[in-house]
Amino acid sequence: PANNNPSLFDQALALQEQNRHQEAADIYKQCLKHNINDAAVWSNLGTALRKTGHFEASAAATWRSLELRPGQAPYLTNYGNTLTDMDRKEEAIKAHTAAVYAEPESFLYRKNFACTLREFGEYELALRQLNIALEMNPEDVNLQFDRAVVYLHLANFEKGWKEFEVRHKLPEWKGRLSNAPYW
């Protein structure tokens, strides 16, 4: 990072990885006191604020990162994620499109783009991005599940219901609550 206090930045990153987003946001704000023009800090602050439900502040922080470093894919995708949460369809899709254009080989940016397209009901476009992302990482169970849901929305029931079985592999899947035979 370009900030003048990398240990603070690293501490905030560690807190973010532990899903302690409010604490991370507080430390990112301290980092900005050392260097107000650090785009990475602004972007990460935006992500932490988004995770705590402060969407307007998140959009402002991620936008600031893009003002400082225009066209940077990580900042674009963070901004796009916040805009998606704010239900700002055109702007979110534009940000994610730019992120994928900037780094077309990035699995994360494709995945974020696909999820935004799905969120806004752009199922045909979402399916294209999901397929590209799954070519990059075919073992991603969450993405496989997202594709199954998109197939169902597109009324491709044969593929959709078949792929929907991947739900059993999802980490949050609780399993069956019944001893009855599985149909």
DSSP code of residue 142: H
- Residue 1 pLDDT: 46
Q: pTM for this structure?
A: 0.86
CA distances from 88 to 12, 46, 55, 70 (A): 28, 16, 11, 20
Q: CA-CA distance, 123 to 147, in Å (whole number)?
A: 9
pLDDT digits (tens, 9 = 90+) for 108-149: 999 999 999 999 999 999 999 999 999 999 999 999 999 999
| Token pair for 94 | 């534009």
| Token pair for 12 | 């905030």
